[in-house]
């Protein structure tokens, strides 16, 4: 009777360009830059060590068109490592690496099979009695229900459906190749190897319907441990199912309660303590890549708001104090509130201006003026961002978000807070 294991991965986004690292150097930044490749190498190491029969890549192997041939050559080299161990690989392209998105091409080794985009294809593995069904993307925005076109299961075999889908638009991901759980279950397959949703999730067991999530988190919206699923099958029954961690950088938000802080130095001390905690609880030698968020009511609220680069550099210095590759700070977000006594005390000198701005959030005339003046800039930002950022990615800067949504009251609100802090400090 057949017994074998396989690895299910997706959303690798190999060589995905990482924003915000421009002009930065050091081992930590270098580790982030090369993380998607290193995680993929880890996956191949695992596949070889565990002697799996094959690996399945359920879409978004690439982030988009290769900048040069190095990305493709890296992938071929990894496939060659599998080939020399007699391990096969099945690839299905998703919205990011759809046929229309990738213009460069390289010959893949014989152990690699690619699901076509025109129609579903079934690959049979007679020696282990498995059948893999799948259909790739011809273009990035597939609105057709691809699963509906998949064939009936091969009788008596272990059937795997490979599919890149937004299912019902989960986690805000674009709802490409939509389908519902019920129809996947009704297909009669044993395992649905899905891709596209970056937060790993086991939707169903027996039959298994699984989003493995990213192989490696790439930014602050892709937090927590990342990896791929190792599945063991004996006599057509799943007897082992576990997540293998492959990530080399782990993204987290580190909250720092700055309530009651009297000085910036005190806030920095708390940042240091929070970082130490976060670093000591990380696992598997992963480097921590984190966003520090300061919260709580404090009299240094204004100082923090205006500290800009200083508090960020300070946090980065604190992180370096734990070693070269222990932690890296992406940003410091100041979400503190003024201490109670200060909340109403805006001072006479600029009190009027503050009040005017306060009323302005509800002033239709002013908003009309802003709309006229700002709409061109905002629409240009929109175009640039849409070109640069994938629609799946989130814009996580609050001010940018307000601009993109033409939320003028919110924009005025941010300006009001910033001006208040600025004017107060100038007055002091």
Residues with Cβ within 8 Å of residue 6, at least 6 apart in sequence: 52, 53, 54, 55, 56, 130, 160, 230, 231, 233
Stretch in the footprint of Mn ion (CB under 5 A) among 90-98, 108-116, 211-219, 255-263: 90-98
Closest of 205, 209, 244, 248 to residue 228, by C-alpha: 244
Reduce the DSSP state of residue 33 to 3 states and report it: helix
What is the smallest separation between the CB atom of 213 and Mn ion, expressed in angstroms?
A: 12
Of these, 16, 71, 95, 216, which contacts Mn ion (CB under 5 A)? 95
Identify which range of 53-61, 261-269, 289-297, 399-407 contacts Mn ion by CB under 5 A. Answer: 53-61
Q: Which secondary-structure segment (H or E) carries 36?
A: helix 35-49
Q: Which is nearer to Mn ion, 252 or 392 (CB)?
A: 392
Omega before residue 207 within 30° of 0, cis: yes
CB of 176 to Mn ion, least distance (A): 7
To Mn ion, the closest distance from the beta carbon of 215 in angstroms equals 13
Pick between residue 12 and residue 304 the one whose CB is nearest to Mn ion.
12
325 contributes a contact to Mn ion by CB under 5 A: no
Q: How far is the CB of 299 from Mn ion (least distance, A)?
A: 46
In the complex with Mn ion, the residue whose CB is nearer, 95 or 111, is 95
Q: Which of 16, 61, 63, 94 binds Mn ion (CB under 5 A)?
A: 94
Percent helix / strand / coil, the chain, rounded to 5: 35, 25, 40
- Give the nearer residue to Mn ion in terms of CB position, either 172 or 321: 172
Closest contact distance (angstroms) between CB of 247 and Mn ion is 18
Looking at 117-254, list the stretches that DSSP marks H as alpha helix, in order from N- to C-terminal side.
181-186
Specify the stretch interacting with Mn ion by CB under 5 A; choose among 57-65, 75-83, 84-92, 258-266: 57-65
In the complex, which residue's CB is closest to Mn ion?
196
Residues 154, 123: Cα–Cα separation, whole Å: 11
Q: Which two tokens stand for residue 189?
A: 């397959």
Question: Of residues 42, 43, 56, 60, which one binds Mn ion by CB under 5 A?
Answer: 60
Give the three-state DSSP class for 287.
strand
Cβ atoms of 244 and 7 within 8 Å: the answer is yes
Tell me which stretch binds Mn ion (CB under 5 A): 191-199, 340-348, 382-390, 404-412: 191-199
Question: Phi/psi zone of residue 6: left (φ > 0), alpha (ψ -120 to 50 degrees), beta?
Answer: beta
Minimum CB separation from Mn ion for residue 169, in Å?
A: 12
Q: Binding of Mn ion at residue 307 (CB under 5 A)?
A: no
Sign of the CA dihedral running 254, 260, 265, 269? negative
Instruction: Choose, by CB under 5 A, the member of 37, 140, 187, 196 that binds Mn ion.
Output: 196
Cβ(131)–Cβ(123) below 8 Å: yes
Q: Are 278 and 293 in contact (CB under 8 A)?
A: no
Task: Please give the C-alpha separations between residue 94 and each of 54, 176, 226, 228, 264, in angstroms, as whole numbers.
Answer: 19, 9, 19, 17, 47
> Contact region for Mn ion (CB under 5 A) — 46-54, 104-112, 196-204, 271-279?
196-204
Closest approach, Cβ 217 to Mn ion, in A, equals 15
Task: Determine if 298 is a binding residue for Mn ion (CB under 5 A).
Answer: no
Does the protein bind Mn ion through residue 161 (CB under 5 A)? no
Question: If binding means CB under 5 A, how many residues of this protein chain bind Mn ion?
Answer: 4
CB of 10 to Mn ion, least distance (A): 8
Residue 136 as a binder of Mn ion (CB under 5 A): the answer is no
What is the spatial distance between Cα 147 and Cα 184, in angstroms, rounded to a whole number?
A: 7
135 contributes a contact to Mn ion by CB under 5 A? no
Q: What are phi and psi of 146, to 5 degrees?
A: -65, -40
The smaller minimum CB distance to Mn ion, of residues 143 and 344, is found at: 143
Joined together, the tokens standing for residue 217 give 């988190």
Structure tokens, 294: 């300061």
Q: How far is the CB of 16 from Mn ion (least distance, A)?
A: 12
Q: Does residue 217 bind Mn ion (CB under 5 A)?
A: no
Q: Which residues pair with 228 in a beta bridge?
A: 244
Q: In whole angstroms, how close is the CB of 96 to Mn ion at the nearest point?
A: 5
Answer yes or no: are the C-beta atoms of 263 and 303 closer than 8 Å.
Answer: no
Residues making contact with Mn ion (CB under 5 A): 60, 94-95, 196
């Amino acid at each position: 009777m057949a017994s074998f294991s396989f690895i299910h991965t997706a959303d690798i986004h190999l060589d995905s360009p990482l924003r915000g690292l421009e002009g930065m150097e050091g081992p930590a930044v270098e580790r982030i830059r090369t993380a998607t490749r290193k995680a993929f190498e880890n996956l191949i190491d695992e596949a070889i060590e565990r002697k799996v029969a094959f690996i399945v890549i359920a879409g978004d192997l690439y982030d988009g068109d290769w900048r040069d041939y190095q990305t493709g050559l890296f992938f071929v080299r990894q496939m060659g490592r599998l080939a020399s161990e007699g391990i096969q690989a099945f690839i299905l392209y998703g919205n990011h690496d759809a046929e229309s998105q990738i213009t460069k091409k390289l010959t893949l080794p014989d152990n690699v099979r690619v699901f076509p985009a025109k129609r579903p294809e079934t690959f049979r593995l007679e020696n282990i009695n498995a059948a893999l069904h799948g259909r790739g993307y011809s273009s990035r925005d597939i609105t057709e229900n691809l699963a509906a076109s998949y064939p009936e299961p091969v009788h008596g075999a272990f059937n795997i459906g490979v599919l890149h889908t937004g299912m019902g638009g989960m986690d805000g991901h674009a709802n490409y190749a939509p389908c519902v759980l019920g129809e996947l279950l009704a297909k009669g397959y044993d395992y649905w190897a899905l891709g596209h949703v970056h937060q790993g999730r086991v939707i169903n067991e027996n039959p298994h319907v699984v989003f493995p999530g990213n192989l490696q988190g790439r930014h602050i919206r892709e937090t927590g441990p990342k990896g791929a699923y190792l599945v063991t099958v004996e006599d057509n029954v799943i007897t082992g199912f576990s997540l293998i961690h492959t990530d080399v950088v782990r993204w987290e938000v580190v909250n720092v309660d700055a309530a009651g802080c009297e000085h910036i130095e005190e806030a920095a001390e708390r940042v240091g303590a929070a970082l130490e905690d976060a670093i000591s609880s990380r696992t598997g030698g992963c480097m921590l890549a984190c966003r520090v968020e300061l919260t709580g009511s404090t009299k240094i609220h204004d100082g923090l708001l205006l500290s800009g680069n200083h508090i960020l550099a300070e946090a980065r210095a604190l992180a370096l104090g734990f070693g070269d590759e222990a932690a890296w700070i992406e940003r410091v977000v100041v979400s503190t509130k003024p201490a109670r006594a200060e909340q109403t005390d805006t001072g006479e000198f600029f009190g009027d201006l503050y009040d005017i701005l306060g009323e302005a959030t509800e002033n239709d005339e002013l908003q009309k003026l802003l709309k006229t003046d700002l709409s061109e800039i905002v629409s240009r930002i929109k175009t640039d961002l849409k070109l640069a950022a994938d629609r799946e990615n989130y814009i996580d800067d609050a001010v940018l978000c307000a601009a993109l949504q033409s939320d003028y009251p919110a924009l005025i609100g941010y300006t009001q807070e910033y001006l208040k802090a600025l004017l107060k400090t100038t007055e002091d």
